[in-house]
Chains A and B, each alone.
Chain A
């Protein structure tokens, strides 16, 4: 079964809107959760979360982890067309040597 599930699968918004992307996971030996942004090429790193309740923030993007409920959200405020991408969530487990299990991604399109 899928270990990492993202929702929604896709999303279309207009510039200036705020979006919330969801990632739920089910692993036995959680170590960290990571968010990546993928435009046309390679995924690029956004955030790594290891502790519940501590918000990570970078400009208009922010993310938080809930280890009790096993999910994370990625918020993007005041969206811009440049935010259009696939957002990937991945989970790392202990004793798995940095090996990441990725969710299916959320495809975000921001219209002018």
Chain B
């Protein structure tokens, strides 16, 4: 298996532009997570999906952020409009999910976003 695949790996954009980050989870994994990592705040959970349904989006900073999972093999995280404080590395992770499977998350390589 190729693991969790994220794109783009790097993005530099200007304030006010729309940013879309993409993620393909590991096949057969039922849970998908979007995390953001900064030096100041570490790894923060933004949102997670189980069986394509958003379960907890309490970590989404504000309305500028939205996430979708239209099917089991694809998810997007969108920021519109982007701001310099959104600059971070955004990780997507997946897991088997379900109450009988505990915690190991498999992370993608991350998307490094810089908003100028």
A-B contact count (CB 8 A): 65
- Give Cα A70 to B42, complex, Å: 21
Given known contacts A88-B43, A97-B31, A42 and B103 CB-to-CB distance under 8 angstroms = no
**Chain A residues with CB under 8 A of B97:** 97-98
Q: By the criterion of a CB under 8 Å from any partner CB, how many residues of chain B are at the interface?
A: 27
Pick the contact of A98: B4, B35, B101 (CB < 8 A): B101
> Does B25 belong to the interface (CB within 8 Å)?
no
Given known contacts A90-B103, A105-B42, A42 and B48 CB-to-CB distance under 8 angstroms = no
Q: Which residues of A contact B (CB under 8 A)?
A: 31-32, 34, 41-45, 48, 50, 88, 90, 92, 95-105
Q: Which residues of B contact A (CB under 8 A)?
A: 4, 31, 33, 35, 42-45, 48, 50, 55-56, 91, 95-97, 99, 101-110
Can you identify 23 A-B contacts, CB atoms within 8 angstroms? A31-B103, A32-B103, A34-B104, A42-B4, A42-B110, A43-B43, A45-B105, A45-B106, A48-B103, A50-B102, A95-B99, A97-B31, A97-B48, A97-B50, A98-B95, A98-B97, A99-B45, A100-B33, A100-B103, A101-B45, A102-B44, A103-B42, A104-B42
